[in-house]
Each structure stands twice: as C-alpha cells, then as structure tokens.
Amino acid sequence: MASVPGFPDQATITEVGPRDGLQSEPVFVPTESKIALIQALLDAGLRRFEITSFVSPRAVPQMRDAAEVMAAFRDRSDAHLTALVPNARGAGAAIEAGVDAMVLFASASESHNLKNVNRSRAQSLEGFAEIAKLAQGTGVALQGAIATAFGCPFEGEVPVAAVVDMARAYRDLGMRHVTLGDTTGMATPALVIERVDALRAAVPEVELALHFHNTRGVGLACAYAGLSLGITHYESSIGGLGGCPFVPRATGNVATEDLVYLLHESGVATGTDLDGLIAAAELAERFVGHELSGQVMKAGPRLKTAPMDSVRTANG
C-alpha cells in the first residue's frame, strides 16, 4: 500500500465512543450493550479506551453504570482503560474501579468551562491539584484534556496563549499526556499546525494527542495536518457517536472507522481491523437506535466491489 512521505509509520487510537460518544444519547444504553460494544471494539484490535466517566448520575445519567462497565474489563491486561473524572469524588470512585488513568478536563475558554463544568478555569485547576494528591501512590496515571483548544462557541477565537497556559498547568501537575480537544468542531488544518508548534515549543516533554469533531466537515483534514507534523496519537468515536452537549449545533466526533481508513490508506499502521470496526459501528448504531454519521461504515473499504448486475445499466 502506498504511503504518504513524512507521515509516521504507525499511530495509536484511543476509542472515546463508550464515554464521549454515548454520554449525550437521550435514551439510556443498557450496561450489557455498552459491554458488548467495547468487546466488539477490542475484537477489532483497539486497545486504548476512554471507557466511561465517573460523574454524578444526575448530571450525566448515561454514565450511571461506570463501575459496572469498568468491572467487565478491569482484568484485561492488554487494554489501557481511562475514565473522565470531574472532581475528587469521581477520582476516588475511578481509582477504586481500577482505571489505568484518569482524564482531567478543562476548557481553554473561560465561558465554555463555566457552561461545561460550572467552574472557572482556576477552580478546575485547584480541583485537579486535589485529584493529583489522591492519585499519588495508587499507580493510576493522570492525563489532561484541553477542551475548546481551537475555538469557543461563546467567545470565538481562543488565544494560543490560553491553550499553552493550560498545558503548562497540566505539566506542572505531573501530566505527560495532553489531548487538544476540538470540542466545538472549529479546528482547521492551519490552527492545528499553529497550536501543535506552540505547544511543542512550550512543553516539549508532553506527548500531544488530537481529538477532532466533524462539525464543519474537516475533521479528517485536521487529522491529516496532525500526521504531517508527526503526531501519532488520536482520539475518535466509533460511528461518529457524540458531540458536546454544551455547544450549540454540535455534531459528533470523527468516526473511528473513518480515521482508520485514512490512516491505513496513507500507509500508517494502527493494529486494527477495518472490517471489524465497521461491524462495531453498525452494532453501535443498533444500540442507540438512530443513524450514525460515519461514512466508511456505509460505503465500506475502498476496494469493496459489487456484482455488475447489482447496478442498473444506463440507457441511451
């Protein structure tokens, strides 16, 4: 298969569908369905998951079975399981459940942070310091996620300096893995290049991951820009599930199977099976009961063929 000059030979994908994808679904997806979906994703070769969120069930009812979902997979030594935690109470539950890492998230935009977690950025970081103390000696790592890293639906442009400040704060709390989140679908390839370059200069010791939404149809173009910079870690959601509930007109994440198709066709290995991911996307669509936005799950791989008699012949 042809490869793109300058691209990395391989990339790692963290599947966020079980958390970021399902959290906004209005109808509760049964625990056994969540477990079946994660198992299908494991069978397709994925090994890194944002598997759930230890949040208040009143705030996010879809995640009320976080401990049960974790219990089904905590003994999988070949899988890296992370969970989103908003506060010390959630962190305690996540540690008890046996997660490999806790994801702490705050927005580069003050207004979005207030909408998303009802805290200022300073208050969020103060809470993260408490979580960092809880994590000491437990073997549970901390990862950072910067929401609205490419734009805010309330403020518009988010200064690069705000993203850099958040990354530095995460680094100072001991985090060495930080995700730039395109929460609002406002990322463009030019912004990706600008922000990755700035962060590499400011916090070179931090591994960067990219998380894109496809709100304006350029999610994969942004991933392509990341690949051109040598970024090897991406987050995506099976079938394109998801979309921030605190962003007007938001649509879903970049679909995992679409991203894997791009990577494989560009000569970048992922360790996953595309046909297996398509089957998992179809399973996710059945579980949520509505059509998902993923494109490869509908069209299939590039070289999928059909018998000639399945298509009518033109007349005239």
Higher pLDDT, 35 or 24: 35
The least confident of 97-106, 153-162, 187-196, 304-313 is: 304-313
pLDDT tens figures, 248-293 = 556 689 999 999 999 999 999 999 999 999 999 999 999 999 999 9
Residue 68 domain-assigned (yes or no)? yes
Beta bridge partners of 215: none
Distance CA 263, CA 259 (A): 6
Distance CA 41, CA 63 (A): 19
Residue 296 domain-assigned (yes or no)? yes
Per DSSP, the three-state class of 100 is: coil
pLDDT at 316: 64
Distance CA 289, CA 306 (A): 28
pLDDT at residue 12 is higher than 80: yes
pLDDT at 187: 96
pLDDT at residue 244 is higher than 70: no
> For the range 192-200, what are the long-range contacts, defined as Cβ-Cβ under 8 Å and sequence gap of 24 or more?
192/150, 192/222, 192/225, 192/226, 192/229, 193/225, 193/228, 193/229, 194/160, 195/149, 195/150, 195/160, 195/163, 196/226, 196/229, 196/231, 197/229, 198/160, 198/163, 198/164, 199/163, 199/164, 199/167
Residue 282 domain-assigned (yes or no)? yes
**CATH code for the domain of 130:** 3.20.20.70
Distance CA 255, CA 253 (A): 6
Residue 4 domain-assigned (yes or no)? no
pLDDT at residue 246 is higher than 80: no
Residue 316 domain-assigned (yes or no)? no
Q: So which residues are the catalytic ones?
A: 244
Q: Using an 8 Å Cβ cutoff, are 45 and 272 in contact?
A: yes
Distance CA 138, CA 149 (A): 30
Domains in the chain, number: 1
pLDDT at 267: 97
pLDDT tens figures, 223-241 = 999 999 999 999 999 999 9
Question: CA dist 3 to 13, 63, 95, 205, 262, Å?
Answer: 19, 40, 41, 28, 11
pLDDT at 193: 98
**Both tokens assigned to 315:** 């007349």
pLDDT at residue 24 is higher than 90: no
The distance from CA 250 to its chain's CA centroid, rounded to whole angstroms, is 15
Q: Using an 8 Å Cβ cutoff, are 124 and 88 in contact?
A: no
pLDDT at 306: 84
Residue 1 domain-assigned (yes or no)? no
**Both tokens assigned to 293:** 């936005």
Strands 101-107 and 48-53: unpaired
Q: What mean pLDDT comes out for the span 237-246?
A: 80
> Whole-model pTM?
0.95
Question: CA dist 189 to 5, 113, 193, 244, 263, Å?
Answer: 18, 24, 6, 21, 16
What lies within 8 Å, CB to CB, of 250 at 6+ separation is 183, 184, 185, 213, 215, 243, 244
pLDDT at residue 245 is higher than 80: no
Distance CA 16, CA 233 (A): 13
Residue 129 domain-assigned (yes or no)? yes
Residue 7 domain-assigned (yes or no)? no
Residues counted in the chain: 316
Residue type, position 54, single letter? F
Domain holding 240, by residue range, is: 12-310
| Secondary structure string (H, E, C) spanning 21-84 | HCCCCCCCCCHHHHHHHHHHHHHCCCCEEEEEECCCCCCCHHHCCHHHHHHHHCCCCCCEEEEE
